[in-house]
Amino acid sequence: MARKPAHAPGETAGQPGLNDDIGEKMRLTMYRMQVEIRQSEQRAYDLFLQNLVKGTSHLSLGQEAVATGFAAAMKPGDLSFCTYRGHAHTLARGVPIERVLGELMQRDNGLMRGKGGSMHLTSVEHGVMGSYAIVGAHLPIACGAAWRAQYKGDKDVSVCFFGDGTTNIGAFHEALNFAAVWKLPVIFVCENNLYMEYTPIGEVTSVEHPAADRAASYGLERIVLDGQDADTIYRAARAAYDKARAGGGPSLIECMTYRYSGHSRADPAKYRPDGELDAWKKRDPIKIYRDRLIQFGIAENVIAGIETDVNRRVDEATEKCKAAPPPSLDLLTSDVYADGGWAWRN
Amino acid sequence: MARKPAHAPGETAGQPGLNDDIGEKMRLTMYRMQVEIRQSEQRAYDLFLQNLVKGTSHLSLGQEAVATGFAAAMKPGDLSFCTYRGHAHTLARGVPIERVLGELMQRDNGLMRGKGGSMHLTSVEHGVMGSYAIVGAHLPIACGAAWRAQYKGDKDVSVCFFGDGTTNIGAFHEALNFAAVWKLPVIFVCENNLYMEYTPIGEVTSVEHPAADRAASYGLERIVLDGQDADTIYRAARAAYDKARAGGGPSLIECMTYRYSGHSRADPAKYRPDGELDAWKKRDPIKIYRDRLIQFGIAENVIAGIETDVNRRVDEATEKCKAAPPPSLDLLTSDVYADGGWAWRN
Amino acid sequence: MAELTYRDAVTRGIAQEMARDPDVVFFGEDVAKAGGVFKTTVGLLEQFGPLRVRDPPISELAIMGAAMGAAMTGLKPIAEIMFSDFFAVCFDYIANEFGKSRYMSNGQLKCPLVVRTGNGAGSRFGAQHSQSVENWCMMIPGLKVVAPSTPRDVIGLLAAAVRDPDPVIFFEHKSLYATKGEVPDGEIVDQLGTAKIVRPGRDATILALAFMVPRALEAAEKLKAEHGLDCEVIDVRSLVPLDTQTILGSLARTHRLFTVEENPRLCGWGAEIVSIAADEAFYDLDGPPVRITTPHLPLPATDILEDMVLPTADRIVDRVRRSLSA
Amino acid sequence: MAELTYRDAVTRGIAQEMARDPDVVFFGEDVAKAGGVFKTTVGLLEQFGPLRVRDPPISELAIMGAAMGAAMTGLKPIAEIMFSDFFAVCFDYIANEFGKSRYMSNGQLKCPLVVRTGNGAGSRFGAQHSQSVENWCMMIPGLKVVAPSTPRDVIGLLAAAVRDPDPVIFFEHKSLYATKGEVPDGEIVDQLGTAKIVRPGRDATILALAFMVPRALEAAEKLKAEHGLDCEVIDVRSLVPLDTQTILGSLARTHRLFTVEENPRLCGWGAEIVSIAADEAFYDLDGPPVRITTPHLPLPATDILEDMVLPTADRIVDRVRRSLSA
Ligand SMILES: Cc1ncc(C[n+]2csc(CCOP(=O)(O)OP(=O)(O)O)c2C)c(N)n1
Ligand SMILES: Cc1ncc(C[n+]2csc(CCOP(=O)(O)OP(=O)(O)O)c2C)c(N)n1
Ligand SMILES: [Mg+2]
Ligand SMILES: [Mg+2]
């Protein structure tokens, strides 16, 4: 169940074209963003095969459109709360590739200088308020950030990304109800990639759409999107941001998508039925978007230029990371407490 | 919101009468049960005023019909999982009044000889598999008991009682989904008494009916009942038991009811709007049921006989408790582990 | 100077900080309209309004998570968890989130919040509403942990906790709410990480926390009056940061150490302090350091059983006397 | 006799018990079809079928609660919590339910279950997936707590845990999964509450648990070879029940005590044992008992930092040598 995207391919093709509500500039931005995520994630995978990525890592190959659509709709100051599968969302906020790869490679140039690791990417200056590795934990945290905005009259919106499997944990329920009752400016985005780790979501969930089919429990609208189409995501995201900023409270948005690789680096993903991956690759978000750009009359060389430029930047970032030293050892005991140290006694 | 029972008073009056699907014998049983709960709870309150009930206690005055309707529909072997507000459900399973009052009075004749206290009434021989004082904790536990029944092919059903406020805690969500996916023979009964402790449930909940309006999230039917009419409860309970025994999986049933006293003994319940208590007392479950018996032609003296008999038994139980010694001191260290002792070292 | 109950000191402490700093917000189940189940927060809603004093649903995960998210982004939330036993339903935030985000983010994230909770036994509430769980928090890196024993300390340490840039778990003892003490007028701000010698003495050092402090003091008076033993009593107050200087300093004078803990035996704060003393002050010790604790048991509901289980002044007297005369 | 990995020993241990007793059921996230994220349960689904080996949703509360309800009513469930860090999301069952229901019900309820979990550091997973949390469980009355260090002990202690009538928390160490050891053929059943002297010695007693056992052994060999110090190494194995006889017996011979803990410093099992030794065997001690622990820090992700933070053989050697020559 839940194996088919809710929208047919090319759904947005009927839109008014390049000068529609999205427009050329934003579309090129979104294309670049998707390509950057794709290439960076692919590079992370290659580096892992070269034994240069340590620890674990969770790629978003195939899920680029969701991160892109939301990030593109954000304003500066909006806050992102991610999971361990957070590289894409972090890059989408403008965090330099080098800082992300550096963290995966446990180098001193990493976003957290190697202290957090791939599952905890954080860049407060870019609005990435952390990546959380305990399933569900960040949904209530995002509520808190949204509460601050509401209380202070700040106009920023918090967005919280999570997977389909996360909808079955208690924190999901508590956060959704809490946000709804307090009318918080927070957007909950479920990236339904059909699997909770290795188990198909349908085998462990009482409804077909694990997030959207539960929206009514919180008085929220049921929203299921084609997660492979960045335009669709972008439009829905913009509406949700507008609603949140206008005091209309939270949204819960389920995006149907698919991860091309295993759950984490250790996983060859053998549990997937034959043909499933191929079928989804036919609806590759980058391919869809590239075709649309072409269809809208963007020149092939403009598109290729973006691709080459991203490629160069990923290469440069990789080289910088390879050359970067490991974290300095005094980091071990720094920043446990606000005084910079770790003393629990005098 | 959610302040009006979903069914109008006297709804069952149109039923075929005394020899209908419920019948005279069961009706007299259910009347006796409700009177017994009422009088025992009232006695608990009086004893508290006399400083003879120690610790806390949470009465079900006004909520008698729910406990009665479900217990009456149970078969021997069916299992009850209660909250701290569990006296009613415990009595309804046939546990002697003396053993319940004894526990409240912290006497050696108490159900757990004073070790557990009023919030943890347990009588395994009567199918009362414990009363739990951490909101939500027993919903998953009831799932486990139901899983055992399913696995072993036992035909018993587990029923789990909880309040409206409990629907906002994570364990509610996890248990409901789990039970639905595994199709467990468990019934979740929400006694919606309009308040989570002191705060009106509507102020902290994203839907009008905190349980029923969320049933769809678990693929379950939406059921809201008049919790003041034991016949209504009994019929719905029977259907849910039948479904569970037939392998049809869980049910979630919301019963609209009201507690006459405060949340616990310390609470004078001043937060309730004027007139609310009186309005609900007009739909007192015992009054409703007594009127129905009369209407169905049961003689006043039969009814009064039940009342007098229960009264005598509550008096007797009270006297026995007053005379009972406190728990013996060696209980302090008994039954931590299965060997009867508490040794954590050799 | 005024006499105040420990309960009213909580209210005054919160009010002092809310009046000072508009970024301080306060929420917890039934704390606003109802003033809290222990009546520790009566009047705060009226004083600070419904935007700053709020009643959330029964959703401890949401409460703790929201406190964290608010703290990360600029507020100074005080969250109440009604009974400390309920830390178990939101332990993820205590164990995995509050104290780790600053470290994992290499100093980018902050978490300046206070979680207040009703801790401890004495109300005959049974095993799930009576626990003393300060060790659940002490053992987690990145947290600060405080447990005042007097009304004055409630205000002063709460102020210090609210002003502290790190997450602080603030244990109020349910059995102390009705107790009274002198409290100076005006603002009171204390310092985290400081123990207090509440009774000087020469023959032994007795460490106690929260509800055990008055009992240790009573024991010390009895030990003096009945046995001529002059014990120093230290109110530990702050488990993290731990004031080992005051503690080891006292031990260097008295040469004997006793800890009086309400938490069940295994892995309590007494174990930690004894292990520090045994390692760092081994040659100061003239005899075995002794832990007086609640036995390692779930708590019984019945009054006579509950009274047996907690360390009493008499048990302290007996244990100290036997040990010092051995 | 066969050589087996610690990982495969888990599978064999579970299979041994499931084959013996049809009431033993096993469930946990991704344990059935996928064979577990650590591949510790490959083949169990095929061997015992989908009614006995099941994949629940990501619902740790449901998993733990369901295990308890099943145990209360006649099954012997083995539940897996993937990483021990996730105990924090279902801590209510660990802290407030499993170990209290028998007591609160005055012996009416039972809770014969096993929770298996992947514990400990070494995989560069960072602060939320690397913790060593056995003290979170040791401190709770009513539980039993086990942590094997060898494939043979995995099978034997798991069998003992499954057959035990009380709730047992079973800590497998992630960094030991790939290690190998000799395992006898046929059924293996060990005994809870028994420590093991894994290297006899005269000069000092070194206590270690799980992943720290091989490191303590390596340290002991070095201490012997390089410094002529002959240390006794004890694999504590079972934190509750705690084999204080073996531990204090050893101390009575060696007169010096060292504990090697992976959990962060505060309130670890080492503190408990040191406090027992300091109280009950004070006059056996010829010098300060010393705790060698992971410092009280969240865990860093990077390899070189993580390697610094856990006690190593060299750190043990250094600490013991300095202490014994002081
Ligand atoms: C509380 C908790 N339980 C289990 C895990 C282990 N785990 C990590 S990711 C994951 C699957 C999450 O699935 P989903 O929410 O669909 O996100 P996806 O990985 O597919 O993006 C699980 C079970 C965890 N990190 N936290
Ligand atoms: C996890 C947890 N949070 C809070 C409490 C405190 N508490 C006890 S009863 C209660 C209200 C429960 O309301 P509801 O579920 O409606 O049940 P009712 O008491 O009305 O029967 C609260 C908040 C608790 N026992 N456990
Ligand atoms: Mg998924
Ligand atoms: Mg209620």
The pLDDT tens digits for C52-61 are: 999 999 999 9
Q: Which residues of chain C have pLDDT under 50?
A: none
pLDDT value of position B240: 98
CB pairs under 8 A between A and D: 125
Q: At B6, is the pLDDT very low, low, confident or very high (cuts 50, 70, 90)?
A: very low
Q: If you average pLDDT over residues A101-118, what whole number do you get?
A: 98
Q: Which of B103, B59, B97 is nearest to B265 (CA)?
A: B59
Report the CATH fold assignment for C196-325. Answer: Rossmann fold (3.40.50)
**Closest chain D CA to residue A117:** D301
pLDDT at B16: 54
Residues of chain C with CATH 3.40.50.920: 196-325
Residue A159's DSSP bridge partners are A80, A187
Domains (range + CATH), chain B = 23-345 (3.40.50.970)
- How many residues make up chain C in this entry? 326
pLDDT beyond 70 at A99: yes
Q: CA B294, CA C302: separation in Å to the nearest integer?
A: 44
Quote ipTM for the complex.
0.98
Q: Which helix (H) or strand (E) holds A256?
A: strand A251-256
Both tokens of D124, joined, read 């560069």
pLDDT at D23: 98
Residue A120 to residue C105: CA distance in whole angstroms:
7
Q: How confident is the model at residue A54 (pLDDT cuts 50, 70, 90)?
A: confident
Of B170, B206, B220, the CB nearest to A219: B206
| Contact between residue A191 and residue A220 where contact means Cβ atoms under 8 Å apart | no
pLDDT-derived band at B11 (thresholds 50, 70, 90) equals very low
Asked if residue A135 has its Cβ within 6 Å of ligand 1, the reply is: yes
C117: CB partners within 8 A, 6+ apart = C80, C81, C82, C83, C84, C86, C87, C169, C170, C171, C172
Q: Is B162 in the pocket of ligand 2 (CB under 6 A)?
A: yes
pLDDT at B297 over 80: yes
Distance CA A30, CA A293 (A): 11
CA distance B215 to A249: 23
> Among B196, B257, B267, B271, which residue has the most ligand 2 atoms within 8 Å of its CB, making it the best to mutate?
B196
Q: What per-residue confidence (pLDDT) applies to D185?
A: 96
Q: Crossing angle for the helix pair A285-295 and A300-323, nearest 10 degrees?
A: 140
Q: Which tokens hold the place of D68?
A: 């308890």
Q: Contact at 8 Å (CB) between C37 and C83? A: no
Q: How confident is the model at residue A10 (pLDDT cuts 50, 70, 90)?
A: very low
User: Is B333 within 8 Å of C298 when comparing Cβ atoms?
Assistant: no
Please give the average per-residue pLDDT across B102-130, as a whole number: 98
pLDDT of residue B19: 81
Three-class SS state of B322: helix
Residue D306 has pLDDT above 90, yes or no: yes
The yes-or-no verdict on residue A188 having pLDDT over 60 is yes
What pLDDT, on a 0 to 100 scale, did the predictor assign at position A266? 82
Please provide residue A322's backbone torsions phi and psi, each rounded to the nearest 5 degrees.
-60, -35
Please state the three-class secondary structure of C224-279 as a single string: HHHHCCCEEEEECCEEECECHHHHHHHHHHHCCEEEEEEEECCCCHHHHHHHHHHH
C-alpha to C-alpha distance for D166 and D285, rounded to whole angstroms: 35
The enclosing H or E element of D51 equals none
Taking the C-alpha atoms of residue A170 and residue B173, their distance in angstroms, rounded to an integer, is: 6
Q: Which ligand 2 atom is the nearest neighbour of the CA of B259?
A: 20
Which fold is adopted by the domain C2-183? Rossmann fold (3.40.50)
The residues near A132 (Cβ < 8 Å, ≥ 6 apart) are: A81, A82, A83, A84, A120, A138, A141, C97, D128
pLDDT class of A16 with cuts at 50, 70, 90: low
Task: Kindly report the backbone phi and psi dihedral angles of residue D237, in degrees, each rounded to the nearest multiple of 5, phi listed first.
Answer: 60, -50
A338 has pLDDT over 50: yes
Which residue from A minimizes the CA distance to B202?
A181
What integer best gives the mean pLDDT of chain A?
95
> A1 pLDDT exceeds 70?
no
**Among the ranges given (A299-303, A342-346, B18-22, B258-262), the one the predictor scored with the smallest mean pLDDT:** B18-22
Is B133 a pocket residue for ligand 2 (Cβ < 6 Å)? yes
Q: Which residues contact D274 (CB under 8 A, 6 or more apart)?
A: C271, C274, C275, C278, C279, D257, D259, D289, D291
CA distances from A166 to B140, B328, D69 (A): 18, 49, 24
Which ranges in chain D are annotated with CATH 3.40.50.970?
A: 2-183
Say what the pLDDT of residue C225 is: 98
Average pLDDT, chain D: 98
Amino acid identity of A293?
A: L
Nearest Cα of chain C lies from the Cα of B160 at a distance, in angstroms, of 18
Smallest CA–CA distance, residue C250 to chain B, in Å, is: 32
d(CA A56, CA A133): 11
CB C274 within 8 A of CB D278: yes
Residue A79: Cβ-neighbour burial (10 angstroms; 0-12, 13-18, 19+): buried
Whose tokens are 């610094």? That residue is D308
Q: Is it the case that residue B9 has pLDDT exceeding 80?
A: no
Tell me which residues of chain D, numbers 184 to 213, contact chain A at a CB-CB cutoff of 8 Å.
none
Ligand 3 centroid from CA A120, angstroms: 18
Count CB pairs under 8 A between chains A and C. 168
Whether residue D1 has pLDDT greater than 90 = no
**Which residue, B334, B317, B318, is CA-closest to B114?**
B334
- CA B166 / ligand 2 centre spacing (Å): 7
- Cα(D181) to centroid(ligand 1), Å: 32
- CA D227 to CA D205: how far, in whole Å? 16
Regarding pTM above 0.90, the answer is yes
Residue D116 has pLDDT above 80, yes or no: yes
